[in-house]
């Protein structure tokens, strides 16, 4: 699976939007972009995923660059409960495994 690069950490003020970037310059045409987040002492949880078009759900939005070499997870209004490590993962091909990178640790400041 292709590699992703994310900043180690980011901060956001509560109730402000947060844009979490992910670079994936070696993405292949069949790779989906997945985002998961992990709250402290919990297993990861699904946030959103997409292939080419921007995606929205109740948790977040995913903006995918036209060349698909980068994407941005957007939390429209950060809350204290959004403080977590956010992982951007590429998944394609026949394997079912998800391999995690280092992720971005998001701190939300009250």
Partner 1 sequence: GAVVSQHPSRVICKSGTSVKIECRSLDFQATTMFWYRQFPKQSLMLMATSNEGSKATYEQGVEKDKFLINHASLTLSTLTVTSAHPEDSSFYICSARQNEAFFGQGTRLTVV
Under the rule (CB under 8 A), what is the footprint of partner 1?
A: 34, 36, 38, 41-46, 49, 85, 87, 96-103
The residue written with tokens 């995690």 in the block is 100
Of 42 and 66, nearer to partner 1 (C-beta) is: 42
Of the candidates 72, 40, 44, 75, the residue with the CA atom closest to the CA atom of residue 58: 75
Of the candidates 95, 88, 39, the residue with the CA atom closest to the CA atom of residue 65: 88
**Number of other residues whose CB lies within 10 A of the CB of residue 96:** 6
Q: How far apart are CA 64 and CA 51, in angstroms?
A: 8
Of 17 and 52, nearer to partner 1 (C-beta) is: 52
Of 13 and 57, nearer to partner 1 (C-beta) is: 57
Q: Shortest Cβ distance from residue 5 to partner 1 (Å)?
A: 13
Q: Shortest Cβ distance from residue 10 to partner 1 (Å)?
A: 16
Residues ≥6 apart with Cβ < 8 Å to 67 = none
Q: Shortest Cβ distance from residue 102 to partner 1 (Å)?
A: 5
Of 13 and 100, nearer to partner 1 (C-beta) is: 100
């Amino acid at each position: 699976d292709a590699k992703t690069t994310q900043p180690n950490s980011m901060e956001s003020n509560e109730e402000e939007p947060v844009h979490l970037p992910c670079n994936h310059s070696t993405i292949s045409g069949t790779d989906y972009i997945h985002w998961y987040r992990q709250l402290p002492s919990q297993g990861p949880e699904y946030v959103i995923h997409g292939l080419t078009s921007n995606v929205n759900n109740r948790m977040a939005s995913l903006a995918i660059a036209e060349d698909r070499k980068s994407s941005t997870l957007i939390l429209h209004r950060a809350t204290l409960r959004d403080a977590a490590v956010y992982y951007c993962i590429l998944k394609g091909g026949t394997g079912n495994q998800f391999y995690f990178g280092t992720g971005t640790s998001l701190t939300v400041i009250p």
